[in-house]
């Protein structure tokens, strides 16, 4: 009879084989990748639209940080930007329009493989062109844009996914009429492509999750070293910085609750330090909810919507696909209920409560 000690060495290779199977055969967290694609594409599109009146002062030829100064910095840092290839205004306006279109197409998931590369180039170019005029949010967007190039973020909730569903039956009909040798070669190429896609996607999602854990963990450990976070007064000083007070009255009102400020300081440090260790099980749901509230507070009280939006979207990588599928089913129910209310027709749930109509009297008499 095998004991626990003899079974333990066998379980290790089995776990390794299971891990390699998942890594190479099945892309994980496809819905989370779609949320990241939609979120960052929409966030950057809104960002470019918001800064549209100030585009020339930030990235254009009229910026105090001229294209020539940017190129001198690139010689030292190794950065590149398509915005510095020409100093003409028509060229800059064309690049800005293409950046808007690229962000919209990336959000919609149209030809995602190619557009994701263009989106990463756009984000990197705009980030490098005005590297001294940012608030930290675009740093994370840049990292995520590069990571998402590796993922299959267009498999769900995208125009690519819709086109694949529509072309599914046509592809089956075409494959059934082809030669056996062609089918075999096509099957081998398709299998190799699926394996490579799964490996790149899973590695990309792992890097994204690790990046978010590193951000929270390092931020929490950095706060622990400061005395103001230890005595619960850090947020008091933050709320009194004129540079980060879009609504001074609201900041003063929040600063008037000393106990609440101290609790928020300690809770912020605790959540950030413990974040990498609470990602398993149901404990992550309340943690992510509290982090959502923290980032919304940063966006409102400190006027950093780009940074807060980037962090909120990044947190979505830790929600499983079953969570997003349940949201999709809930959205469909709400849509059916809204359609039923507008048209006056009973919804699916209401149809079960309607009694069947009785047979006409003439039918009943004839049957007798």
What pLDDT is attached to residue 174? 52
345 or 290: whose pLDDT is higher? 290
Percent of the chain past pLDDT 70, that is, above it, reads: 82
Angstrom distance (rounded) from CA 314 to CA 320: 13
Q: Which tokens hold the place of 56?
A: 């020339």
> Looking at residue 9, what is its pLDDT?
54
Is pLDDT of 12 > 80? no
Nearest residue to 144 via CA among 58, 294, 35: 35
Mean pLDDT, residues 261-277 taken together: 90
- String of b and e for 118-127 (b: at least 16 CB within 10 Å)? bbbbbbbbbb
Rounded Cα distance between 145 and 124, Å, is: 9
What is the model's pLDDT at position 15?
Answer: 61
Mean pLDDT across the stretch 61-71? 90
Which H or E element spans position 202? helix 180-224
The Cα angle at residue 35 between residues 30 and 40, in degrees rounded to 5? 130
**pLDDT score, position 314:** 95
Q: Choose the weakest-confidence range: 186-195, 246-255, 284-293, 309-318.
A: 186-195
- Is residue 80 a contact partner of residue 74, using CB atoms and an 8 Å limit? yes
**Range with lowest mean pLDDT among 3-7, 66-70, 139-143:** 3-7
Q: What is the pLDDT of residue 94?
A: 97
In this prediction, residue 181 has a pLDDT band, given cuts at 50, 70 and 90, of: low
DSSP letter for 54, please: G
For residues 272 and 223, the answer to whether their CB atoms sit within 8 Å is: yes
Residue 343 has pLDDT above 80, yes or no: no
**pLDDT tens-digit series, residues 125-164:** 999 998 887 777 788 999 999 999 999 999 999 999 999 8
Q: What is the pLDDT of residues 287-334, one digit of tens each?
A: 999 999 999 999 999 989 999 999 999 999 999 999 998 888 888 888
Mean predicted lDDT score pLDDT of the chain: 84
Asked if residue 349 has pLDDT above 90, the reply is no
301 or 178, which is more confident?
A: 301
Quick check: 308 and 295 in contact, CB under 8 A? yes
310 touches 287 (CB < 8 A): no
Least confident interval from 68-77, 129-138, 314-323, 337-346: 337-346
Max mean pLDDT range (39-43, 252-256, 276-280, 354-358): 39-43
The whole-angstrom separation of Cα 253 and Cα 9 is 61
pLDDT at 283 over 70: yes
Alpha-carbon distance of 132 to 130, in angstroms, equals 6
**8 A C-beta contact, residue 118 and residue 149:** no
- C-alpha span between 119 and 123 (Å, rounded): 6
Q: Compute the distance between CA of residue 215 and CA of residue 295 in angstroms, rounded to an integer.
A: 14
Q: Tokens 């994701």 — which residue?
A: 116
Q: Are 195 and 25 in contact (CB under 8 A)?
A: yes
Mean pLDDT of 338-364: 56
The pLDDT tens digits of the residues spanning 85-124 come to 998 999 999 999 999 999 999 999 999 999 999 999 999 9
- pLDDT computed for residue 212 by the predictor: 94
Residue 246 CA to residue 53 CA, distance in Å, equals 19
Position 329 scores a pLDDT of 86
Measured distance CA(261)–CA(233) in Å, rounded = 7
List pLDDT tens digits, range 219-242.
999 888 878 888 888 999 989 988
- d(Cα 92, Cα 83) in Å, to the nearest integer? 6
Above 50 in pLDDT, residue 363?
no
């Amino acid at each position: 009879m095998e004991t626990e000690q003899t079974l333990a060495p066998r379980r290790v290779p089995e776990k390794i084989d299971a891990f390699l199977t998942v890594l190479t055969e099945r892309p994980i967290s496809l819905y989370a990748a779609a949320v990241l694609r939609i979120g960052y594409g929409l966030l950057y599109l809104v960002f470019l639209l918001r800064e549209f009146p100030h585009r020339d002062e930030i990235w254009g030829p009229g910026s105090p940080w001229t294209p020539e100064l940017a190129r001198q910095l690139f010689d030292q840092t190794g950065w590149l930007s398509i915005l510095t290839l020409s100093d003409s205004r028509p060229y800059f306006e064309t690049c800005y329009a293409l950046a808007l279109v690229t962000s919209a197409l990336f959000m919609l998931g149209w030809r995602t493989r190619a557009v994701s590369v263009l989106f990463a180039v756009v984000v990197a170019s705009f980030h490098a062109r005005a590297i001294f005029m940012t608030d930290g949010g675009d740093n994370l967007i840049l990292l995520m844009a590069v990571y998402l190039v590796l993922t299959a973020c267009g498999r769900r909730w995208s125009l690519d996914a819709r086109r694949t569903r529509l072309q599914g039956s046509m592809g089956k009909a075409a494959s059934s009429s082809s030669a056996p040798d062609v089918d075999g070669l096509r099957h081998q190429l398709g299998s190799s492509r699926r394996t490579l896609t799964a490996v790149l996607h899973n590695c990309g999602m792992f890097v994204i999750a690790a990046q978010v854990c590193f951000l929270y963990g390092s931020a929490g450990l950095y706060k622990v070293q400061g005395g103001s976070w230890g005595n619960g007064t850090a947020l008091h000083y933050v709320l009194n910085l004129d540079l980060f007070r879009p609504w001074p009255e609201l900041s003063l009102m929040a600063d008037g609750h000393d106990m609440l400020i101290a609790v928020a300081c300690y809770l912020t440090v605790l959540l950030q330090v413990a974040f990498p260790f609470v990602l398993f099980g149901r404990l992550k749901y309340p943690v992510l909810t509290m982090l959502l509230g923290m980032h919304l507070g940063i966006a409102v009280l400190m006027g950093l919507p780009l940074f807060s939006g980037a962090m909120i979207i990044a947190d979505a990588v830790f929600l499983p696909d079953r969570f997003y599928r349940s949201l999709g089913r809930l959205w469909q129910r709400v849509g059916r209920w809204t359609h039923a209310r507008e048209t006056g027709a009973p919804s699916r749930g209401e149809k079960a409560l309607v009694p069947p109509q009785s047979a006409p009297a003439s039918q009943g008499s004839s049957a007798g």
